[in-house]
């Protein structure tokens, strides 16, 4: 490939932008873009701006030599990652505002399916293009495919609800917070009031509700996918460089076949959550994810075999699908309706940040010890999540008593507790 494994590992840090998008999510949620906002509305204007950033970054990457100028390639990748994470924030806001609550589950399901389909195109499709043409052509085609999203945004309608009422509610909340800070200069008081109402408010609500359990909940969120994400950074170098599979073999097995196994795992995870509840499946998902990493230790000691690779990829994607569904269901059950977007942004950011940060060192581990030791270490990294998930299962009644659904039911809502 021409790029050292340690460099590949460090490049994975670009994905941290998805893990810290909660930092600038309030800006995307509140700031109206000049000109674009009047033409397309708040949500669509941010989506279009983000898509422009993604396409621009991909075109630049197509014209940069990653071996000769890795820093410039990293900056182009940063533009793509930042723009894509910003698009996620805008799409989440659009999805919540565009339809009534009873349609949100269907919208979320279609969003997940579209995300997986995009991964398939950008994964297997990019590998096919690189195999038969070049990486430059691959990046250019990916940039061209951004037009699908642009056309979609131009065709859809801007949400007609919540914008003015949300602005009024926020103005009232900010006014209250500013009033508490009369001892400060007016400008500083307004900044502090906005920060307290728009940024700190959702987080304070979570900590006040779950009290002494808050840190353990956030710790589980942070650690649940560590072994999965950190292992995934070195997956393609392992398949291509260590095992010696061709790009088309990897695309066929890990991207196309793996895509369908992930969907199957997600469906199975959904059925299991309905049948047994979210916390038992959360624990099972943590165990299966850590165990599936050990299967890579086995194939790393065997000659290249597509059947063996397919079996391991099947187990890995099935366990990942089950674990992700359980995690999303669990996080959704803890999100307050008053702060849905911001609190879920906190969870979704936190659940990938540690794994992506540690994944940045994965290339160094491989270079120093080898792939077998790397997969053993990544599997052991799943043990804390297993222990925390088991603890959450043991304290399920306490968690249920503090959940937003339970509180709403106590106030007259008929929402079932998870």
Instruction: Confirm whether 245 is domain-assigned.
Output: yes
pLDDT band at 198; cut points 50, 70, 90: low
Classify 220 as helix, strand or coil: helix
Q: Quote the percentage of the chain above a pLDDT of 90.
A: 18
Of residues 89, 100, 97, 79, the one with CA closest to residue 31: 89
Q: Give pLDDT tens digits for 42-86.
A: 889 999 999 999 999 999 988 887 667 777 888 888 889 899 989
At 171 the pLDDT is 53
CB 190 within 8 Å of CB 178: yes
Determine the average pLDDT of the residues in 282-306: 90
Residue 236 and residue 370 share a domain: yes
Residue 132 and residue 242 share a domain: no
User: Quick check: 284 pLDDT over 90?
Assistant: yes
Of residues 242, 209, 219, 202, the one with CA closest to residue 339: 202
Residue 108 and residue 219 share a domain: no
Residue 81 and residue 133 share a domain: yes
Residue 353 and residue 266 share a domain: yes
CB 15 within 8 Å of CB 332: no
At 341 the pLDDT is 63
At 417 the pLDDT is 40
Instruction: Confirm whether 356 is domain-assigned.
Output: yes
Q: Which long-range contacts (CB under 8 A, 24 or more apart) does 369-372 make?
A: 371/234, 371/238, 371/242, 371/296, 371/300, 372/297, 372/300, 372/301
Q: Give pLDDT tens digits for 299-334.
A: 888 888 888 888 888 999 899 888 888 887 787 777
Residue 339 and residue 232 share a domain: yes
Q: Which range is least confidently modeled, 136-145, 169-178, 209-218, 251-260?
A: 169-178
Q: How many domains does the chain have?
A: 2
Instruction: Confirm whether 179 is domain-assigned.
Output: no
Determine the average pLDDT of the residues in 341-359: 76
User: Quick check: 415 pLDDT over 50?
Assistant: no
Residue 134 and residue 232 share a domain: no
At 366 the pLDDT is 85
> Which of 160, 190, 220 is the endpoint of a domain?
160
Distance CA 412, CA 39 (A): 42
Q: Looking at residue 258, which CATH number applies to its domain?
A: 1.20.1250.20
DSSP letters, 369-410, are: H-HHHHHHHHHHTTHHHHHHHHHHHHTHHHHHHHSHHHHHHH
Determine the average pLDDT of the residues in 253-260: 79
Instruction: Confirm whether 412 is domain-assigned.
Output: no
Most confident of 19-33, 89-103, 258-272, 392-406: 258-272
274: domain range?
A: 202-405
Determine the average pLDDT of the residues in 345-351: 79
The pLDDT mean for the chain works out to 78
Residue 213 and residue 151 share a domain: no
Residue with more model confidence, 161 or 325: 325
Instruction: Confirm whether 336 is domain-assigned.
Output: yes
Determine the average pLDDT of the residues in 148-160: 90
Token pair 């810290």 in the structure block, residue: 20
Instruction: Confirm whether 54 is domain-assigned.
Output: yes
Residue 225 and residue 154 share a domain: no
Distance CA 196, CA 198 (A): 6
Residue 209 and residue 121 share a domain: no
> Which of 93, 128, 160 is the endpoint of a domain?
160
Instruction: Confirm whether 103 is domain-assigned.
Output: yes
Instruction: Confirm whether 209 is domain-assigned.
Output: yes
> Which of 106, 130, 160 is the endpoint of a domain?
160
At 181 the pLDDT is 63
Residue 206 and residue 148 share a domain: no
User: Quick check: 163 pLDDT over 50?
Assistant: no
Q: Could you tell me the pTM of the whole model? A: 0.70
Residue 271 and residue 367 share a domain: yes
């Amino acid at each position: 490939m021409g790029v050292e494994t340690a460099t590949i590992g460090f490049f994975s840090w670009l994905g941290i932008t998805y893990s810290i998008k909660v930092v600038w999510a309030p800006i995307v949620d509140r700031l109206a873009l000049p000109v674009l906002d009047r033409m397309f509305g708040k949500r669509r204007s941010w989506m279009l701006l983000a898509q422009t950033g993604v396409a621009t970054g991909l075109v630049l990457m197509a014209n940069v030599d990653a071996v000769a100028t890795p820093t410039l390639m990293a900056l182009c990748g940063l533009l793509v990652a930042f723009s894509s994470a910003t698009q996620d924030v805008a799409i989440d806001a659009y999805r919540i505002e565009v339809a009534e609550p009873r349609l949100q589950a269907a919208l979320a399901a279609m969003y997940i399916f579209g995300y997986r389909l995009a991964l398939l195109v950008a994964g297997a499709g990019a590998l096919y293009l690189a195999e038969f043409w070049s990486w430059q052509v691959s990046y250019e085609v990916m940039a061209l495919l951004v037009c699908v999203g642009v056309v979609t945004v131009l065709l859809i309608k801007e949400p007609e609800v919540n914008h003015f009422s949300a602005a009024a509610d926020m103005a009232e909340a900010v006014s209250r917070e500013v009033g508490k800070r009369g001892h400060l200069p007016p400008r500083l008081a307004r900044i502090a009031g906005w920060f307290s109402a728009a940024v700190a408010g959702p987080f304070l609500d979570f900590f006040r509700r779950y009290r002494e359990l808050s840190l353990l909940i956030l710790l589980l969120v942070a650690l649940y996918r560590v072994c999965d994400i950190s292992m995934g950074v070195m997956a393609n170098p392992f398949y291509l460089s260590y095992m010696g599979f061709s790009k088309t073999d990897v695309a066929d097995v890990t991207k196309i076949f793996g895509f369908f196994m992930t969907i199957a795992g997600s469906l199975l995870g959904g059925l299991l959550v309905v049948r047994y509840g979210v916390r038992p499946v959360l624990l099972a998902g943590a165990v299966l994810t850590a165990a599936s990493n050990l299967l890579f230790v086995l194939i790393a000691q065997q000659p290249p075999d597509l059947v063996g690779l397919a079996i391991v990829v099947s187990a890995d994607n099935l366990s990942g699908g089950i674990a992700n569904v359980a995690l999303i269901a669990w996080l959704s059950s803890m999100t307050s309706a008053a702060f849905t977007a911001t609190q879920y942004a906190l969870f979704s950011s936190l659940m990938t940040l540690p794994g992506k940060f540690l994944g940045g060192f994965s290339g160094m581990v491989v270079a120093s010890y080898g792939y077998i030791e790397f997969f053993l270490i990544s599997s052991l990294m799943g043990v804390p999540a297993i222990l925390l998930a088991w603890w959450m299962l043991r304290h399920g009644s306490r968690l249920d008593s503090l959940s937003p659904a339970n509180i709403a039911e106590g106030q007259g809502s008929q929402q079932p507790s998870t």
